[in-house]
Structure 1
Amino acid sequence: MTAFAAAPGGQESAFAGRPDVPRPTHAARPDVPPPAYTGHSDVPPTAHVTFHPIVDLDAGTVVAVAPSVPGPPNLDPDLDVDCAILAARSLSRRETLLPIQLLLRMGTLAYDRPMERLHRTLASLGRRPGGVIVGVTGDLAGMSLDEAAARLGGLRSGGYLLAVEAGDLPTRFVADIAPTILMLGPEVTRRAAADPRRSAVAEALVALGRRIGGHVLAPGVVSDDQLTHLRGRGVRLAQGPLLASPQWLPGVPVNVPVGSRDAERDRLGPRVTEFMMPATVMPDTATAEEVLTVFNADPATGSVVLVDQAQRPRHTVDRTRFLLRLAGAYGHALHAHKPAARLADAPRPVPRTVPAIAALRAAGNDAERVYEDLVVIDEVGRCLGIARVGDLIRSLSALEH
């Protein structure tokens, strides 16, 4: 169940047929003049599009593609969207199901017509919102914090993933919108290894990302020193000439130099993914009756992970506690046709890159739930599977001996 996989075929709109999801409103503000460019024609098809892989530094794999049209930023919202549309169409011809990241200026979000064209085009290309990362750059462009948050919230409600260039925005605002990806500014990437102040910025964003469930992306990496330093600060996602040439195309391998932390990972033992098992996943809107059916169908299922549209875990349903509540007086009548989330707990996520011993320590932080399954997540917070605490204990104990 890959949250980023493009759906076959098109649909009328990225938000069509979903009355339960608020439609994002991008109407132009009355105090902002309409864009000078009103032709609504795409950037000429002869424009050159380059493809930049977004790389998971630990796994050494490409997790998304960021196509772009070289040139200065388009201040006109129509032209800005035209470039994004051209980039999306160019990637669609490569027939890759990798997630796509499209960059837009913050000010572009304030205009309805260009954004609607983008939604329609992505839908016609078979790109579902869960497979699109909308990267927002630049400052608030005259919008208030509340208005900008509403624009971004509309995209999130429609299922899109958000990436923001955090350096141009207030930290509190970034924390409130909780983007999936926090992009370092090019200057931070370039100077972090030699400038303690820029290095501190990277560390602060990594710490913020961990708290809000996001991950930091370092663009424009050109040297081993930059990459080693940023990895040491906790940055997990990167792109740039060091990892792939300007002629890179989807499907071509990338070059990820061995990081200085590999020896430390070896010393700490195997990763948690070596003990990972498939998770029983259901949408977070599932009812208790539906979860009960899953438990009854397979007695070996110890938990169910309830995920959102982007496959991020929102709740976990522990088999024992769930069945005890339903077996109580009037339990079935009270809960069966209501959301199973009412009988669920907060998930206990662990990144797939952590050592198994660290995951086991994390499990022990909650004495009441110490033996419950851990949810293994990837770099953008999606559920990959579960790790059973009992398996970790037995396996690590065997390694000790």
Structure 2
Amino acid sequence: MPSWTDHLRFAFQPVVNLTTGSVTAMELLARPERGDVLAQARRSPELDGELAALAVRSAARRETLLPLHVNVFAGTAADLGGLASLGKAVREAGRRPWEVTVDLVPPFTHVPRPALLSAVAALRDDGFRISADGVGDGDVPLRLLAALDPDLIKVDGTVVTRMPDDPGCRGVVAGLRRFCDDTGGQLAVEGVETELQCAAAREAGAQLAQGNLFGPAARLPAADVYRPAAPMATPAGPSGRTGPPVLDFVQPAALLPVTASAEDVRALLTGSPAVSGVVLVDTAGVPVRAVDRDRFLLSLSGRYGHALYADRPAVRLADLPRTVGEHATAWEVLDVMAADHRSRTGDDVTVVDDRGRCVGVVHLADIVRALAESRVEEAARLNPLTRLPGSDTVNAEVDRRIADGREFALSWLDVDGFKQINDGAGFAAGDELIRAVGRTLAEAAAGQSGARVGHIGGDDFLLLADPSGLEPLASAVLDTPWSAGGIPATLSLATVLCPPGSVADHHQAAACLAPLKKSAKRLRGASWVLGRPGSARQEVRRGNALRVPEPGGPGGAVRGVPAPG
């Protein structure tokens, strides 16, 4: 009698890294030819667990070396705990649990929370990675999402479809990226069909993607996928040092046990031309040695090389692995490479998780290209006169602080009567004054953690700082005697103090500065006016006499002081 498994096939869908364009994993999707097995699996945890095990066995028959994503209903995990059938299938296929990500799919609403969290803990103890799937269209509560602490969040395709035209959807995805940065996870988007959707997802912070744009689900693992153009700018990492996070560049690692022979390594390398090296791991998945493709094959190709090494342990031809944690930045990868012998400059660097297990490798070429493009893009955004970034850099940091619920002070600064200074002293003297103000601002901000300076253009600057650091920053520029070509100059400063929840975004913060700027410009000499969102009260910290306009009206000169530029 035919079994129901005779009418069940599995399709492979590539999971693509949006930074490198490479395939990082394959998701296995059940494709029943008869009946509605998936609906039955939703009601039967035993059947759903068996489907997951069959998916792994199907991948083994296709001989894919890529990590796997396997779908399991959240209720199945809660009911079956450690999913013994899945673990058995992984062992029988010769795979390791940390090469398999369990995608927990909705519904979550009626799943017992303690049982689900206990099951996730058991799967993690066995080495499996955990993904929260269908986020955005499914019913996973935020409290449960935080408790699950997933290694990967997958945003549902219904959200991705709307992202190009819906700022709200982009904001939700950007918020999920911040959550992933804080918890050490990654963010993926599903159902990507167009370039516009891909660009919107990447701009919002997605690191991985799936969808027909890259390659549809197929009976055989895709040999090649569509690779979108690499972004010019790369996001800053979650650590203090500027640079994209290393997880953006992780490639699947070719893993073999540390007991593997040289012949085992040779067979893997010759059968997989794209593999640049092999990581030899212990039974817990911790890297013990690393084999570089070129040096290894060169050793075997020499006279008597195969006879000498083939049946001996591969560790004889391996090096100590170079490792970085999964929370490192690309710059830290370069530090590790630079500290090693020059002969290993091009070797892969192994990325390990908090338990020391290998989660993948990064290639030098990917790191160097991304950092170079990042620096080119950054240079293009700098003001050519002061070499300071524009308002975009400050605005982005303002939005981050608002999202994090942090208090901040946003200030606007300009030179009083700058047009008259230019007319009287010449534009070269005016330019030198602007450069000097910019240098002073940058030097003062460099002494404070988190302070940012932006040159909007002309004689206008933006300054972002913690409220506690305002006074020394203001003193650095307001208490300095300025002049251009012998003409004295003064500066006006306006500051808005923004407690958590007082403004929604950088647009509102900038709008609050407008009336403060007008008040500061009306004061004689160096001036500083401070205010708060939603309050008409203004505090004058510098300048104590209003400027009196000449009979020419508001646009005319002010007695003893050049008219504002």
Task: Bin the TM-score by the shorter chain.
Answer: 0.5 to 0.7
Residue matched to 1:4: none
Out of 169, 173, 177, which is 1:202 matched to?
Answer: 173
Measured in 1, the distance between the counterparts of 2:173 and 2:358 equals 20
Unaligned runs of 5+ in 2: 33-37, 235-241, 248-281, 288-323, 336-348, 365-371, 380-565
Distance 1:159 1:42, change over 3 A: farther
Out of 75, 78, 87, which is 2:55 matched to?
Answer: 87
8 Å contact kept, 2:78–2:112:
no
| 1:184, distance to aligned residue in structure 2 (A) | 0.6
Residue matched to 1:315: none
Structure 1 position 350 matched with structure 2 position 328: yes
| 1:91, distance to aligned residue in structure 2 (A) | 0.9
Query: Over aligned residues, Cα RMSD in angstroms?
Result: 4.1
Residue matched to 1:183: 154
Measured in 1, the distance between the counterparts of 2:144 and 2:96 equals 27
8 Å contact kept, 2:81–2:119:
no
Residue matched to 1:382: 359
TM-score normalised over the length of structure 2: 0.41
Measured in 1, the distance between the counterparts of 2:244 and 2:173 equals 27
Out of 28, 31, 35, which is 1:70 matched to?
Answer: 31
Distance 1:141 1:214, change over 3 A: same
8 Å contact kept, 2:131–2:151:
yes
Amino acid at match of 2:126: G
Out of 150, 157, 180, which is 2:118 matched to?
Answer: 150
8 Å contact kept, 1:68–1:84:
no
8 Å contact kept, 1:221–1:242:
yes
Residue matched to 1:316: none
Measured in 1, the distance between the counterparts of 2:82 and 2:123 equals 14
Distance 1:308 1:192, change over 3 A: farther
- Which secondary structure state, in structure 2, belongs to the residue aligned with residue 193 of structure 1? helix
Measured in 1, the distance between the counterparts of 2:129 and 2:152 equals 8
8 Å contact kept, 1:376–1:386:
no
Out of 195, 199, 204, which is 1:224 matched to?
Answer: 195
- Which secondary structure state, in structure 2, belongs to the residue aligned with residue 92 of structure 1? helix
Residue matched to 1:47: 8
Amino acid at match of 2:122: G
| 1:222, distance to aligned residue in structure 2 (A) | 0.6
Amino acid at match of 1:223: T
The within-5 A match list for 1:2-401 is 43-70=4-31, 72-73=38-39, 74-75=41-42, 76-112=44-80, 115-165=83-133, 166-167=135-136, 168-247=139-218, 249-250=220-221, 252-259=223-230, 261-262=231-232, 264=233, 309=284, 349-351=327-329, 354=330, 356=331, 377=351, 382=359, 384=361
8 Å contact kept, 2:81–2:122:
no
8 Å contact kept, 1:186–1:219:
yes
| 1:381, distance to aligned residue in structure 2 (A) | 8.7
- Bigger Rg, which one: 2
TM-score normalised over the length of structure 1: 0.57
8 Å contact kept, 1:350–1:376:
no
Distance 1:43 1:227, change over 3 A: farther
Amino acid at match of 1:119: G
| 1:358, distance to aligned residue in structure 2 (A) | 11
Q: Which moved more, 1:160-169 or 1:112-121?
A: 112-121
Aligned-residue sequence identity (percent) comes to: 25
Measured in 2, the distance between the counterparts of 1:169 and 1:108 equals 15
8 Å contact kept, 1:52–1:239:
yes
| 1:181, distance to aligned residue in structure 2 (A) | 0.7
Structure with greater contact order relative to length (CA < 8 Å, sep ≥ 6)? 1
Measured in 2, the distance between the counterparts of 1:199 and 1:308 equals 42
Size of the aligned set, in residue pairs, is: 266
8 Å contact kept, 2:78–2:118:
no
**1:20-41: CA deviation from partner (whole Å, max 9, x where unpaired):** xxxxxxxxxxxxxxxxxxxxx9
Unaligned runs of 5+ in 1: 1-40, 274-306, 313-345, 361-374, 388-394
Distance 1:179 1:158, change over 3 A: same
- Which secondary structure state, in structure 2, belongs to the residue aligned with residue 48 of structure 1? strand
Distance 1:311 1:184, change over 3 A: farther
**1:319-367: CA deviation from partner (whole Å, max 9, x where unpaired):** xxxxxxxxxxxxxxxxxxxxxxxxxxx969324xx5x49989xxxxxxx
8 Å contact kept, 2:156–2:191:
no
